[in-house]
Amino acid sequence: MRYRVAIAAFLAIAATSGFCHADPRYPDWPCTQAKVPEISLAAVWAGPPLDDVSDKWKDDAKVSALVAKLAARRTPLEEAQKAITEYLNAAADKTGSGKLLFAGLFDSLNAQRSQVLNGLERVTRKQREAADKIRSDTLALHALQGETPPDQAKIDDLGNQLVWQTRIFEDRQRVIKFVCEVPTAIDQRLFALGRTIQQEIE
């Protein structure tokens, strides 16, 4: 039991080594992908300027409802693209409607993306705290094991606690790895939807 705990704790601590290689500008960023705080409009939109629409999309109930549907990642991309085509084909002012729609998508998906980035950094800070706790508890466990005579009840309690802490730590690490892919998926979705809008209004 003691060896299993010691090895598990060691693995958990070793897993934190990735934190040390973070971009110094973003010390809490856990992903191998570089952190890009916001999507650049120029990177995802080559259509007409959006300066004259800015937040106006929020005032159009139909556009707002469609933006919410299109921005939701649970809506399949093909379904979202079809909805864009149907909406713009029925619009009296295709260009104006397309600009409003993309302005809404850009705002909404950038906001979604920011939430994901902030969540990743928040979990990273929790992981650092968890790693520190695992380290200190591992040292405490070794100290208990070195006592003469050893207090087996305390050793077992702390050992079980360490196993549980390590399991939570490793589960979070797996979640972080998965969530690190989400910002890129949002970028790709916005680019694809923007391209569909541009094709419809050209």
**What is residue 55's predicted lDDT score, i.e. its pLDDT?**
82
Q: Domain residues for 108?
A: 2-16+72-201
Please tell me the least confidently modeled range out of 16-20, 64-68, 194-198. Answer: 16-20
pLDDT at 3 over 50: no
pLDDT-derived band at 110 (thresholds 50, 70, 90) equals very high
The answer to whether 66 and 162 have CB atoms below 8 angstroms apart is no
Please indicate, yes or no, if residue 135 is contained in any of the structural domains. yes
pLDDT, residue 13, reads 56
Residue 174 lies in a domain: yes
Residue 182 lies inside a defined structural domain of this protein: yes
Evaluate whether residue 172 is within a structural domain: yes
The residue with tokens 């549907």 is 69
Read off the pLDDT band of 5 (50, 70, 90): low
Whether 97 maps to a domain, the answer reads: yes
- What is the band of 90 on the pLDDT scale with cuts at 50, 70, 90? very high
Q: In angstroms, how far is CA 178 from the centroid of its own chain?
A: 8
Q: How far apart are CA 131 and CA 51, in angstroms?
A: 47
Report the pLDDT value the prediction gives residue 127, as an integer from 0 to 100. Answer: 93
SS (H, E, C) the chain: CHHHHHHHHHHHHHHHHHHHHCCCCCCCCCCCCCCCCCCCHHHHCCCCCCCCCHHHHHHCHHHHHHHHHHHCCCCCHHHHHHHHHHHHHCCCCHHHHHHHHHHHHHHHHHHHHHHHHHHHHHHHHHHHHHHHHHHHHHHHHHHHHHCCCCCHHHHHHHHHHHHHHHHHHHHHHHHHHHHCCHHHHHHHHHHHHHHHHHHHHC
Res. 2: pLDDT tops 80: no
Q: Does the residue 6 lie in any domain?
A: yes
Number of domains the chain is built from: 1
User: Angle 61-71/94-146 helices, nearest 10 degrees?
Assistant: 40
On whether residue 34 sits in a domain, the answer given is no
* 165-184 average pLDDT score: 92
pLDDT in tens, 8-63: 555 555 555 455 456 788 999 999 889 999 998 988 999 898 988 878 899 989 99
- pTM for the predicted model, two decimal places: 0.83
**Closest alpha carbon to 94 in 201, 197, 199:** 201
Residue 124 lies in a domain: yes
